[in-house]
Amino acid sequence: MLSRKFHKAAGYRLVKLPEKITRYTPDFILEQVIASALNHLLGKELSAGELDFLERKLATVNIRDLNFSFTVTAYDNRIKVMIPAQISEVTLRTDQQSLLEMLHNEVDPDTLFFQRRLLITGNTELGLYLKNFIDSLELMGRIPAPVMKLISRIHKQSQRSL
């Protein structure tokens, strides 16, 4: 009985971890962490010019349930992140669960789009490029094992809380 309560409480805390990180970490640190992660994960695509459609254009990612937004742009084969989010040409809105499902390749962005769990507003052409780019990514092997393990645990706990 005690063990079940402990695991439930620990699971709840784990699901709330991203919200606490985005709420209490200074913006300049989040900018650096997100930019470093994206540049590392998308290095091959940046070098191949697959993100040229984002060159000097602003795209905002809004994660509704975390009350967290950031803006990205590509410049000189690098991703730049801005927090707080800037006025951008396109905005992608989703929730933490949908983001985790995309990361785990459990659902594609088109499905989320048609279920209204991924909303795209603003420049339609840029939004479609971005959505299709996300759909083409295979990130599973690129994310370091300890980080992937934590993401997987958060994902499993968030599924249980639904």
- CATH code, domain with 135: 3.30.1050.10
Average predicted confidence (pLDDT) for the chain: 85
Number of domains in the chain: 1
Q: Cα(156)–Cα(15) distance, rounded to whole angstroms? A: 9
pLDDT, position 10: 44
H/E run at residue 106: none
Residues 15-73: tens digit of each pLDDT = 677 888 888 999 999 999 999 999 999 999 999 999 999 999 999 999 998 899 999 99
Q: Cα(90)–Cα(112) distance, rounded to whole angstroms? A: 17
pTM above 0.85, yes or no: no
Task: State the angle between helix axes of 96-103 and 145-160 in degrees (0 to 180), rounded to the nearest 10.
Answer: 130
pLDDT, position 19: 84
> In angstroms, what CA-CA distances link 124 with 100, 131, 140?
24, 10, 28
Residue-range definition of the domain harbouring residue 126? 2-160
